[in-house]
Structure 1
């Protein structure tokens, strides 16, 4: 078993780096945490949402190029993790010094889950030397989880729980909501015909931040695709909205924590009421039956 400590970052390719960074700054409220680039790999812009050095990176490149980074629990060795993945038939790439510098980590390995989602496992990531300050009036408390697309939910649930230490908190139809610490979920697997990041979540302090953001997004012409609403699974209040290259971003507040080791996952039907107890209907393909 490879023990994960926390989700760390998402790296996204984009054909319009300037526009994507402007969106992150003006709409998400994420300050820039530096840039890097070279002729071989193109330019990358690092964006912050909390005390971490960065949690989102936009890179020159294919918008289908998605990578999610996870920090390993203290004491878990990268070599042992790589050996376990390769034993199970998942080829592993060991990060070069240049690639580690680009991720601002001491070391990392990369592999793909059974659906083809690209995953980094990192050791000793950097922390920012300056306090986090959002670039617009929203109390963003940090990057919290991702939705991943899965081409076989049962197979991928077995991989994430049997290999990467995740635990099932609840299921909506075949879609498992997975935790790696007490937070209700850090990964959600949504059935799809292809791999990739399905949505990116940031936590905000309160329902006030969600509602103020809803009006702010309308004033800026940003399309809301779900909410405001409340999830019956995690109890979180939420707002989903469209970002660059079709990526969906979510603000949520009030997510529950699971501390009972005897917790049993609940089964919810794959229907609108399982996604929102207030009656909001999603305009998101993976949330529709």
Structure 2
């Protein structure tokens, strides 16, 4: 079984890199780390980058996950090949663009593009955000899934994720102690459904709510609190229809504190997404 160590980055195609850059800096509050050709790299913590916007198809998404060693990467490539999943090793130039020592790419059963990377670069300097949104780091992604039951099997049995909770057929998956780093939501689309950044406190969420409304940014869910992870949240719309989320207070599931933890089953209902009463204007969250 492949053991994912951490989520590392998201790469998004866009027809307008300049507009996406302004959004990432002025709205989300990320640091523009650098530009390379027709791509912009953004930092949210001490990693070299956690988000890239590149000139391309806005449906072209790739999610990067870190493995511990080259030996694990080679074993992962062999395991995927044995499972009849096409695997491609990154070239030296592609590794340089991703700021990693090596990587392989494949597609999950729903067609989402996944990188497995080793020796990803760290920033080397302190993260300096474009404005104080309270961001502490990139934390998780929602993925689209035409068949969440099928895809849950792949992510748990092949990639070693564990189910923390389910909402309807949508599993919330952890790869470490954090309640979830991946969530699979029913959708006929392929790729990333939303991108989450953690912020320090509920104060940052509420400040963002007022700030985003004043700036005319469309808020699609929240403020609210998830009954699954316990996190307080705010979702808002970004370039090319991508949804971004701020959240704070996510639950940790540790063997010491919760031995023998079993996933809870929540119904596909508004109350399963928010315990405060907010109703989502997000297609994949709607009942």
Please tell me the TM-score bracket, short chain as reference.
Answer: over 0.9
Deviation, structure 1 residue 153: 0.6
SS in 1 for 2:101: strand
Q: Counterparts of 1:268 and 1:254 in 2: how far apart (Å)?
A: 20
Which residue does 1:243 correspond to in 2? 238
Deviation, structure 1 residue 67: 0.2
Deviation, structure 1 residue 75: 6.7
For the aligned residue pairs, the C-alpha RMSD in angstroms reads: 0.9
Q: Counterparts of 1:76 and 1:258 in 2: how far apart (Å)?
A: 28
Which residue does 1:222 correspond to in 2? 217
Q: Counterparts of 2:106 and 2:31 in 1: how far apart (Å)?
A: 29
Alignment of 1:114-133 (within 5 A): 114-133=109-128
Deviation, structure 1 residue 76: 4.6
SS in 2 for 1:77: helix
CA contact (8 A) 1:184 1:256 kept: yes
CA contact (8 A) 1:63 1:245 kept: yes
Question: Any gaps of 5 or more consecutive residues in structure 2?
Answer: none
Deviation, structure 1 residue 47: 0.2
* Matching of residue 263 in structure 1 with residue 261 in structure 2: yes
Residue by residue over 1:139-173, the C-alpha shift from the partner in whole angstroms, topping out at 9 and shown as x without a partner, is 10000000000111111000000010100000000
Q: Report the number of matched residues.
A: 284
Which residue does 1:110 correspond to in 2? 105
Deviation, structure 1 residue 77: 2.3
Q: Counterparts of 2:23 and 2:82 in 1: how far apart (Å)?
A: 42
Q: What TM-score comes out, normalization by structure 2 length?
A: 0.98
Which residue does 1:40 correspond to in 2? none
Question: Any gaps of 5 or more consecutive residues in structure 1?
Answer: 38-42
Range with greater deviation from structure 2 (66-75 or 55-64): 66-75
* Matching of residue 174 in structure 1 with residue 169 in structure 2: yes
Alignment of 1:52-63 (within 5 A): 52-63=47-58
Runs of 4+ displaced beyond 2 Å: 73-77
Which residue does 1:283 correspond to in 2? 281
SS in 1 for 2:5: strand
Which residue does 2:9 correspond to in 1? 9
Which residue does 1:148 correspond to in 2? 143
* Matching of residue 69 in structure 1 with residue 64 in structure 2: yes
SS in 2 for 1:125: coil
CA contact (8 A) 1:167 1:180 kept: yes
CA contact (8 A) 2:136 2:197 kept: yes
Q: What TM-score comes out, normalization by structure 1 length?
A: 0.97
CA contact (8 A) 1:2 1:76 kept: no
